Amino acid sequence: MRFSIATWNINSVRIRMELIARFLRSERPDILCLQELKSPADKIACSAFAEMGYDQSVLRGQKAYNGVAVFSRIPITDMGSKDMLGNGSARHVAVQLDNGIIIENFYVPAGGYEPDPVTNPKFGEKLDYVRAMRDWSRQEQPTRKILVGDLNIAPQEDDVWSHRQLLNVVSHTPVEVDLLNSVIEGGNWTDIVRADIPHGKLYSWWSYRSPDWDAADKGRRLDHIWATPDLVRDHHCSRILRSVRGWERPSDHVPVIAEFDL
């Protein structure tokens, strides 16, 4: 038996319910992890998810900003949230499957524009957040875990449209890439999508500001699926659903999907 898991930065869950329904009807992932809900939990139409078979949900909402959720067709248990910066922002939630697998759903801070923690505190917060993830990864038992989410860092050269031109752009700076790699090493994580698709450009996000995102194709791979060694197989059928970026009124991120043994 296998199960499929999808991660998607939805950029407002309320205005994109139709888009989510279209995605769930066509792809039918067993588990959907969302980030950037931009909504309090009590304003999210969980009944609409339940009608499509996703009757299990664990939400961490917040007014206007952040927010993460897990919707599932298979049983999940709420395993709590980590408040990495101690500021109450809803950026993480964990759930457990009946077989013991734990799913960690993260929304890492974007970090603002200027890649300097002194002049831009938001960048400092982002670095602090990823440092906290590294420290947490080192403490965890490195087994039976899947980590997904919008990590807001594109670590490899082929994860951005131009490695050279993005070296000083937040999301691909060496300090961010080094930190993200230290999280991977600290938790003994495998980057499942890159293990499946090791070569070539791979993006999960295209800016709203590009008038023709498809032709310009100045994307970045910000959304990730990782797993601990015991869950890694030869292939996980990873897919990044680029076409969803072309749907009507899209998120600037597209869903990423992988499959695991249940």
Partner DNA sequence: ATGGTAGGTCTCCTA
User: Residues interacting with DNA, by CB under 7 A?
Assistant: 11-12, 14-15, 36, 38-39, 63-65, 109-112, 122, 152, 207-209, 211, 249
- Asked if residue 91 lies in contact with residue 62, where contact means CB atoms within 8 angstroms, the answer is no
Q: Which is nearer to DNA, 77 or 207 (CB)?
A: 207
Q: What minimum distance in Å lies between the beta carbon of 5 and DNA?
A: 22
Q: Which is nearer to DNA, 2 or 63 (CB)?
A: 63
Q: What minimum distance in Å lies between the beta carbon of 87 and DNA?
A: 11
Q: Which is nearer to DNA, 41 or 232 (CB)?
A: 41
Q: What minimum distance in Å lies between the beta carbon of 181 and DNA?
A: 22
Q: How far is CA 130 from CA 20, 21, 174, 218, 229, in A?
A: 29, 32, 13, 25, 21
Q: Which is nearer to DNA, 164 or 249 (CB)?
A: 249
Closest CA to 3 of 91, 73, 77: 73
Q: What minimum distance in Å lies between the beta carbon of 32 and DNA?
A: 18
Task: Identify the sign of the CA torsion 216, 10, 13, 45.
Answer: positive
